[in-house]
Amino acid sequence: MNEEREQIMMRVRRALSPIQERAALPRYDSEMVVQRAMLAGRDRVELLAERMQRVNGQLFTDVHALVAHLSAQGWKHGYCDPVLWPALAVHFQGFTVELEFDRTRVDDYAFGITRAAGAIAESGTIVLNDTTTSRRLAALTPWVHVAVVERATIFLDVPAAIAGLGPDRNVIWCTGPSKTADVEGILIEGVHGPGVQLALVV
């Protein structure tokens, strides 16, 4: 298929050759896309909680409250990243929590608990990547995803999060639960991804 590559490159060069002066890359400050007034002087965790709520996500700083919430909704069976489990196990009395994720039984897991790589306070976003996510499927297929976010990894705004993407091959920003408005423009949550996006900040 090298021939086709050459053909396309040749056509691109031919198309561009008559242009006298090519458009320059503009100099701009991406600060302009940041809602700075809203962010000024705010605590990152508080702000993240607020902004997550705006997109129908929910943030917990207290593991008891998180467990009570899961329990109250009847979400008692799930998966947890084995790295997180030693610290969490004591709180999950009466739950069935698997430390191995079995892709042939995706419907069995009501929740998946995995580590986040960070978060973005401005947009209420959870940042996942392959380095911190034990299994892509476990963060995606259960109805509830609980992302465990370390306080120090919360970016304040979107440009900062872009600058901090790092070398990971698969970075995913999750801003609220999966949703669609395809049917008559009516908002429905939980299409292919989690219907409930929670975060536990530690």
Partner 1 sequence: MKFQPIDLAAAGLRPDKRASVYQSTKATHEKRTKLLFEQYNDPDQLRRWAGEVKQHAIENLDAYLPAVEAKLKANGAQVHWASTAESACQQVLKIMRARGATKMVKAKTMVSEEIELADYLGRHGIEALETDLGEFIVQIDHDHPSHIVRPIIHKNRREIARSFEREGLGAYNDDPQTITSRARQFLRHKYLAADVGLTGANFVSAESGRMVLVTNEGNSRFCLAATKCHIALIGIEKIVPRDYDLALLLNLLGRSGTAQELTVYTEFITGPKTAEQPDGPEEMHVIFVDNGRTDVLESDCREILRCIRCGACLNVCPVYRQASGHAYRSVYPGPVGAVLSPLLEGKHGFAKKADLPKASSLCGACHEVCPVNIPIPDLLLRLRNRANQEGIASPGTPPMGAWALLASQPLAWRTALVASQVMNHLPTNLLPIPALRAWQEERVLPEWRGGKFRQWMSQRRKAK
Cα 173 to Cα 125: distance, rounded to the nearest angstrom: 6
Is residue 178 involved in binding partner 1 (CB under 8 A)?
A: yes
Q: How far apart are CA 63 and CA 12, in angstroms?
A: 57
- Measured CA to CA, the distance from residue 199 to residue 154 in angstroms comes to 12
Q: How many CA atoms lie within 13 A of 186 on its CB side?
A: 3
Q: Does 183 bind partner 1 (CB under 8 A)?
A: yes
| Contact flag: residue 40 with partner 1 (CB under 8 A) | no
Build a one-symbol-per-residue string for 17-36: x at contacts with partner 1 by CB under 8 A, - elsewhere.
--x--xxxxx-x-x-xx-x-
Q: If you compute the radius of gyration of the chain from its CA atoms, what whole number of angstroms results?
A: 21
Nearer to partner 1, 95 or 157 (CB): 157
String of contacts with partner 1 for each residue 71-110, x by CB under 8 A? --------------------------------xx-xx---
Left, alpha or beta for 17 (phi > 0: left; psi -120 to 50: alpha)? alpha
Q: In 3-state terms, what secondary structure has residue 144? A: strand
**Among the listed residues 66, 70, 110, 140, the single contact to partner 1 using CB under 8 A:** 140
Of 9, 65, 87, 99, the residue at the interface with partner 1 (CB under 8 A) is 9
Q: 107: phi > 0 → left, psi -120 to 50 → alpha, else beta; which?
A: alpha
- Residues in contact with partner 1, counted by CB under 8 A, come to a total of 69
Site of interaction with partner 1 (CB under 8 A): 1, 4-5, 7-9, 11-16, 19, 22-26, 28, 30, 32-33, 35, 55, 103-104, 106-107, 123, 125, 130-131, 133, 135-137, 140-141, 158-159, 162-163, 165, 167-186, 188, 190-194
